[in-house]
Amino acid sequence: MEGKIGLEEHWAIPDTLGDSEQLVGTSTGWDNVRRRLLDIQDERLREMDTHGIELTILSLNAPAVQAILDPAEAVETARKANDILAEEVAKRPDRFRSFAALPMQDVDAAITELQRCVNDLGFVGALVNGFTQKDVADSAVYFDIPEYRPFWAAVEELGVPFYLHPRTQIPARMQPYEGHPWLISASWGFARETSIHALRLIGSGLFDAHPNLQIIMGHLGERIPYDMWRIDHRIRKIPNGFPCKKEMGDYLRENFHFTTAGNFNDPTLECCIAEMGIDRVMFSVDYPFEDTIDAASWFDSNGLSDADRLQIGRQNAIDLFKLDLS
């Protein structure tokens, strides 16, 4: 399929590059990922051309700003990355858009930076890499707490989506993975961490207060669609003080969108479509941690009808981001 749009596609600045090395390791695999993270205009565009991707929305690698303990440094790094990205996207506005990196360590600064990126730089939303550390290494701040309500109000007012992207858990909370390092990141830990964060956002009553918020998650929903029925079923039986006006599944279908980033599997896609509705699923690669050829060849040849493939591969992103594409 030609004209696909990808929206979990990463890049890095030298300041944040080392965060990705910790995930990939120092093998020849890292050399490949490193080169592609630092490139925007050359190899990345060639791969997009080869595999029918018209547009990608670029985002800073993980955890990057979210792992910076000093709030002032986080503000500076986010602003630096966003300025560089704006310059790169301006070179090829026909092929790229931008997600803002945000210093969530400082709520007011995060609001200011998001407003600057959207209103002044033309960014189409924000991508934040999970919880934020602040002041001390063992900290993990989630965005369901009351301190972040002004931030969410600003996101809703701007009318842009917020991409909740995974990150690795901090060392102080690694006990479940002891002796099993292969579970820590993308194989399992990313989904566990990000799905809990998303369910916390719902359970805080956030979407009752801000019903127009739109959250994006990758990897076909971080395993939430598979468990959606059971989540609601058990809360219905034993609410334990669940404070929301509707069921979890209702908010997921009204306030969330899931992408295919890094999850190229027909049964998982079918489950996601069945639970979320086809208008809530979008194509992505997870570049450069996944290969464009794997994402595109699977998507272009799976069991979708041509109409459904066009909707997931292109139209849903155009509608959500209000993209001016012919």
For residue range 227-252, list pLDDT tens digits in order: 999 999 999 999 999 999 999 999 99
Tell which residue, 248, 283, 295, has the closest CA to residue 7.
283
Residues labelled as active-site residues: 286
What's the pTM value of the predicted model, to 2 decimals?
0.97
**What is the tens place of the pLDDT at every residue in 120-129?**
999 999 999 9
Q: Mean pLDDT, the chain, as a whole number?
A: 96
Among 120-124, 168-172, 200-204, 303-307, which is the least confidently predicted range? 168-172
Q: Which amino acid is at 229?
A: W
Q: What is the pLDDT of residues 86-98, one digit of tens each?
A: 999 999 999 999 9
Best CA proximity match to 260, nearest among 308, 213, 214: 308
Residue 132 has pLDDT above 80, yes or no: yes
**For residue 23, what pLDDT band results from cuts at 50, 70 and 90?**
confident
**Could you tell me if residue 214 is left (phi over 0), alpha (psi between -120 and 50 degrees) or otherwise beta?**
beta
Residue 224: pLDDT band with limits 50, 70, 90? very high
Angle, CA 200 vertex, CA 182 and CA 63 arms, to 5°: 45
225 has a pLDDT exceeding 90: yes
pLDDT grade for 26, boundaries at 50, 70 and 90: low
Q: Could you tell me which CATH class the domain 4-321 is placed in?
A: alpha beta
At residue 326, the pLDDT reads 66
Percent of the chain exceeding pLDDT 90 equals 95
Kindly list the domain boundaries of the chain, sorted by start residue: 4-321
* Rounded Cα gap, residues 320 and 308, in angstroms: 16
Q: At 27, is the pLDDT very low, low, confident or very high (cuts 50, 70, 90)?
A: low
Tokens standing for 190? 């990313």
Total number of residues shown for the chain? 326
For residues 220 and 261, give the distance between their C-alpha atoms in angstroms, rounded to a whole number: 7
pLDDT score for 266: 98
Map tokens 């695999």 to a residue. 29
Region 291-304: what's the mean pLDDT?
97
Tell me the pLDDT band of 279, cut-offs 50, 70 and 90. very high
DSSP 10-69: EE--HHHHHHHHHHH-SSHHHHHHHHHHH-SSSHHHHHHHHTTEEEEEEEE-SSGGGG-S
